[in-house]
Structure 1
């Protein structure tokens, strides 16, 4: 039981120590996408192995490397100008996209109105054709009745004249 408790305690201390290390700050010129990605933990060296200094720092042991130097006011203004330029470019790009979308929207609205007019015209044509068809059917029915009445009179007169001849 002691072995389990001591190993869990040691593991928890090791994990908290690993999370306590702050990641190195990202350079200001790096895109925002790179800043959101997780940085790998720094590699640890064995305690008995001495650290080697970069070649630029060998002459002056207290000198900071280029990554560790604080940014000067000139560098900060350059970074700010670069960020402002990027923002202006993004705004200009968004503005051009907005204009393209507005133009496409106006074109679509015009096309929609044109299609609605065509649809209305076709609806009127359908109603006219339906009324013409019903009028045509009415005329066919009237013609059929007229032909039937005429044939009835002819047949009746023929039969009536035959009876008179026979007497």
Structure 2
């Protein structure tokens, strides 16, 4: 059970990280700038974006601009932190569930033991009751036989006197 839960948790984390990563934008280098530079630029070097409106921060909202490598790295770090927080939260919830499960299992075992003990007590009481009924029956038969002998002897002696 633990292996299944951990594999499902790992798979869900893997799926969320795959879909959470934003694709990196293609390098947007102007053909004229590419022709003027004689040395090729490394692929991992951050790009410098031109400033269109230096004093107006609302201009950035109006235009769509690609994210820089630093911003992508920050986003990645933030996403990783969110994922780690989710994993910790799920781990703590998993521990709480395991603890509650263990408590429920122990309580279930205690109740099963009590149920077994009560079942044994019921059987003992039933056997005692049947033994008691057997003794009552035996006593009734003994009293009936004794009364039968007494009545028979009384009737026999009474008839003898009359003859």
Q: Smaller-chain TM-score range?
A: 0.5 to 0.7
Going from structure 1 to structure 2, the CA distance change for 1:157 and 1:69 (only over 3 Å counts) comes to same
Going from structure 1 to structure 2, the CA distance change for 1:125 and 1:67 (only over 3 Å counts) comes to farther
**RMSD, aligned α-carbons:** 2.4
Q: 1:117 corresponds to which residue?
A: 113
Q: 1:83 corresponds to which residue?
A: 79
Calculate the TM-score normalised by the size of structure 2.
0.61
- Write out per-residue CA displacement over residues 65-98 of structure 1, whole angstroms, 9 at most, x where no aligned residue: 5551111122111111110110011001000000
Q: 1:50 corresponds to which residue?
A: none
| Equivalent position SS for 2:114 | helix
| Structure 1 residue 64: Cα displacement | 7.1
| Structure 1 residue 122: Cα displacement | 1.0
Q: 1:143 corresponds to which residue?
A: 139
Give the counterpart of 2:67 among 65, 71, 76: 71
Q: 2:125 corresponds to which residue?
A: 129
| Equivalent position SS for 2:80 | helix
- Structure 2 spans left out of the alignment, 5+ residues: 1-19, 21-51, 54-58
Q: Give the total of aligned pairs.
A: 110
- Write out per-residue CA displacement over residues 13-47 of structure 1, whole angstroms, 9 at most, x where no aligned residue: xxxxxxxxxxxxxxxxxxx8xxxxxxxxxxxxxxx
| Structure 1 residue 166: Cα displacement | 1.4
| Equivalent position SS for 1:69 | coil
- Structure 1 spans left out of the alignment, 5+ residues: 1-31, 33-55, 58-62
Q: 2:155 corresponds to which residue?
A: 159
Q: Which has the higher contact order (CA 8 A, sep 6+)?
A: 2
Going from structure 1 to structure 2, the CA distance change for 1:84 and 1:141 (only over 3 Å counts) comes to same
Calculate the TM-score normalised by the size of structure 1.
0.60
